[in-house]
Structure formats: structure tokens, C-alpha cells
Homo-oligomer: A and B are copies of this chain.
Amino acid sequence: MPNQPNISSDADSESASGTLRRIEGDACCDGPFPATRRVEETALDAELSSFKALANAKRLKIVHALREGELCACELETVLDAPQSTVASHLRKLRDAGVVNTRKEGKWTYYRIADTASLQLLDLAAALGEDR
């Protein structure tokens, strides 16, 4: 375990790290401060499952296609140009993660982005990709 990035003891306190406000003393990770930043496991689960669902090229391609409106599973086979079983398993994961919803109509199953939050997430992520 390390020891300290103590800021206010040296002469260059205000120079590069003026925005920091750290505890005094000789401890970084022994201090009380980082412990209070530990995040609860459960709160991240829903978030994590969304990110996991979108962390795959084929699934990302699917949700991009679905931003313009719903499509049925067979149409998504064309979008991905992949075998039916492959597409089906990706759709399963998107559904389990709550990113997409399904609507069954006869033989066909239509997929669409589940909610506006997911849509926003995708829009923001797309914007993020633009300027890099």
C-alpha cells in the first residue's frame, strides 16, 4: 500500500494542483478520505448491465439501426450479415439488459429501443464518438 500525495506541505502547493483539497498528514490511502468514496456494489448493477450490453460491435450496430425505428429479427440479420443464431443471442442480451423491447406479431418479433433514457444514452455516446 502506498503512502501520500500530500499537497499543502510543499512550496508548490498552489501551482499545479490548486484545485485539490487533501487531508494533512502522512497518509494517502490510510487516511479516512478515500474510504468514504467507496461505491455500493448494487447501485452499479443496472448501469453495468447496460454498458455490457452495448460493449459489443454487433449489438451496437443493432441499436444504431433501431434508433430510426423498430425492426424485426430477420431484418436485423441483414443489418449484421450474421447467422440467425448469432443475431438471436445478441438480441437476447440486449433484451435482458433492458436496452430493447420486443413486440410479437405472428411469426415475427419486432425489436425497438426500450425507453427514452436508453435512446439518450445512445445519442450522447454517438456525439462522444464524433470529436475524437
> How many angstroms from the CA of A125 to the CA of B124 in the assembled complex?
11
Indicate if the CB atoms of A77 and B125 lie closer than 8 Å: no
Identical chains in the assembly: 2
A-side interface residues, number (CB < 8 Å): 68
Secondary structure of the A contact surface, majority rule: helix
Whether, in the assembled complex, A85 has its beta carbon less than 8 Å from a beta carbon of chain B, the answer is no
Indicate if the CB atoms of B39 and A61 lie closer than 8 Å: yes
Whether, in the assembled complex, A47 has its beta carbon less than 8 Å from a beta carbon of chain B, the answer is yes
> How many angstroms from the CA of A105 to the CA of B129 in the assembled complex?
30
Which residue of the partner chain, among B16, B47, B68, B75, contacts A126 with CB atoms under 8 Å? B47
Indicate if the CB atoms of A129 and B43 lie closer than 8 Å: yes
Not counting A2-B84, A39-B79, A43-B129, a sample of 10 additional A-B residue pairs whose C-beta atoms are within 8 angstroms of each other reads A5-B74, A17-B105, A35-B78, A38-B81, A44-B57, A44-B64, A46-B132, A50-B129, A51-B54, A117-B127
